[in-house]
Amino acid sequence: MTTTDWDAAAESFDDEPDHGLLDPVVRSAWARRMETWLPPTRSQVLDLGCGTGSLSLLVTGQGHRVTAVDRSPRMAERARDKLAGTGAEVLVGDAGRPPVGRQRFDVILARHVVWLLPDPAAALRHWFSLLRPGGRLVLVEGVWGGTGLSAARLTALLSEHTERVHHEPLSGDALLWGKEVDDERYALVARAEPPRRHSEVVDVHLILRRGPDVLLARRAGTGYADGLLHAPSGHAEDGEDVREAMVRETAEETGILLDPDELRVALVMQHRGPGGNPRMGWFFEAHLDPARPPRNAEPDKCSELAWYPLDALPDDMVAYCRAGLDGYRAGERFLIHWHEDGDTVGYAPQGPRRAVPLPVATARTGRVHHIELRVPDLAEAEAEWGWLLGELGHLPYQKWAHGRSWRRGDTYVVAEHSPDLAGAAHDRLRPGLNHLAFHVQDRATLDALAARAPGHGWRPLTPGGPPGGDSGHYAAYLVNTAGFEVELVAP
């Protein structure tokens, strides 16, 4: 762009009422914005491509010291007239290489300038060299009729110099332009801080199971997502590993002191809230010990603790926690949940789904996909198998006219009353299936399950006898109404 072209473009912008700030309503709207972009204390401000000095005048009116630069002598003269008596200095020079020598500034301000520069990257590099440590660039740009510079492109140019870039859309504020606009207009406020090594807060979340139910806490008085449900959670502190953090947070929020060995990794999820920074979330599974019931140990941060069915979670939840629990129920192990800035913190049933499962590099060949049992009475099987599998951590998965299934991870168990079923009961002593065997966490859990089983249609195979098993395991043997045997095995 030639000097004549530059001057024509700059003057055309500044002569419009919305850019020249001739309307007091427009001028007031820009003044309010400038108060939020500029430091609260008196600062040295360099206004590049100042035009007739409209923004410089607002800046001096807020108590700052201004040096204004414009390459057009005629525009610079008009700026001097406008800024007379304010103490501002107006210079003639190139905005890309302003004639300020070794001076350093707290703020560099440029409105509708970067898009006109022949080498924006070089200009930005030089501008950052003119800023004091912690200083800021305030850049107002846009795209008008297909010309200009998008926020995404300018942010990418700034990323070489700083990670702290605040994007503020301006198109929706008609007061700034004296009219409604529908093109892209924005401000970027970039801090003069070098890029830092990437780091993220590590948070921990407890999936406390009571059979098919999970414990949720309703947030209150925290300033974040208050009124919404969330799993007991917190973040790791310096020097803690994630298990230690989960044990501590569980005790602080629910009064339950878990042994680290009670925790199982359920899911790892990288997540970002609307307008926030990324975090790495570890979801742990633990099972309720009836001897250690939870209580609300932080009533100033939580209004209630309650159990909810994992296969019918409530909608009034924090969105990323809901995504984590949905992923856990579906057998996922790694997720990314990335909010857009306009998203709500709360789960939106009809909103976009931000969770992206990440596949795990494991050998699937040879693993059990599902086990299908033919049952004589579907309602009876649903009650008996549903209770037992629910206690063992399986979740309701599929439901159709003649069958039901329950899933844990990527394996599921099916009970189906087939139209071509032969016989009225299963005989485990004949050729075919003898029994299914399931892991149980420990001897206490096994004993508790065996004690409750008769109330749900499962009788012990050896009435009154102790659990069997080899020298390294305990085992309980149960048989249901239809004759199916289950072995529960604990270390």
Total number of domains constituting the chain: 3
Residue 124, classed as helix, strand or coil, is helix
Q: Are 386 and 340 found together in one domain? A: no
Boundary residue ending a domain (323, 357, 391): 357
Q: Are residues 205 and 112 in the same domain?
A: no
Q: Is residue 196 part of a domain?
A: no
Pair (463, 388) in one structural domain: yes
**Does residue 210 share a domain with residue 80?**
no
Q: Is 483 inside a domain boundary?
A: yes
CATH number at residue 102: 3.40.50.150
The candidate with the shortest Cα–Cα distance to 108, out of 129, 137, 68, is 137
What pLDDT is stored for residue 321 in this prediction?
A: 96
- Residues 63, 165, single domain; the answer is yes
Give the model's pLDDT for residue 214: 95
CATH of the domain at 386: 3.10.180.10
211 in the same domain as 139: no
User: Which of left, alpha, beta for 233 (phi over 0: left; psi -120 to 50: alpha)?
Assistant: beta
Helix (H, G, I), strand (E, B), or coil: what is residue 11? helix
Q: Given this model, what pLDDT does residue 410 score?
A: 78
CA-CA distances (angstroms) from residue 406 to 34, 387, 483? 59, 10, 19
What are the distances in angstroms from CA 88 to CA 15, 82, 104? Answer: 21, 10, 15
Q: Which amino acid is at 33?
A: R
User: At which of 164, 191, 218 does a domain end?
Assistant: 191
Q: What is the pLDDT along the chain (491 residues), one digit of tens a residue?
A: 444 444 444 444 444 444 557 888 999 999 999 999 999 999 999 999 999 999 999 999 999 999 999 999 999 999 999 999 999 999 999 999 999 998 999 999 999 999 999 999 999 999 999 999 889 999 999 998 889 999 999 999 998 888 789 999 999 999 998 899 999 999 999 998 765 666 789 999 999 999 889 999 999 988 889 999 999 999 999 889 999 999 999 999 999 999 999 999 999 999 998 888 899 999 999 999 999 999 999 999 999 999 999 888 999 999 999 999 999 988 889 999 999 888 899 999 988 889 999 887 766 778 889 999 999 999 999 999 999 999 888 888 999 999 999 998 778 999 999 888 887 888 888 888 899 999 987 888 888 899 999 999 999 987 544 455 555 688 999 999 999 999 999 88
Pick from 191, 212, 244: which residue ends a domain?
191
**344 and 318, same structural domain?**
yes
Residue 63 located in a structural domain: yes
* Domain extent at residue 299: 201-357
Say which residues have a Cβ less than 8 Å from residue 294's Cβ, sequence separation at least 6. 208, 215, 254, 255, 256, 288, 305
* Tokens 């806490």 found at: 217
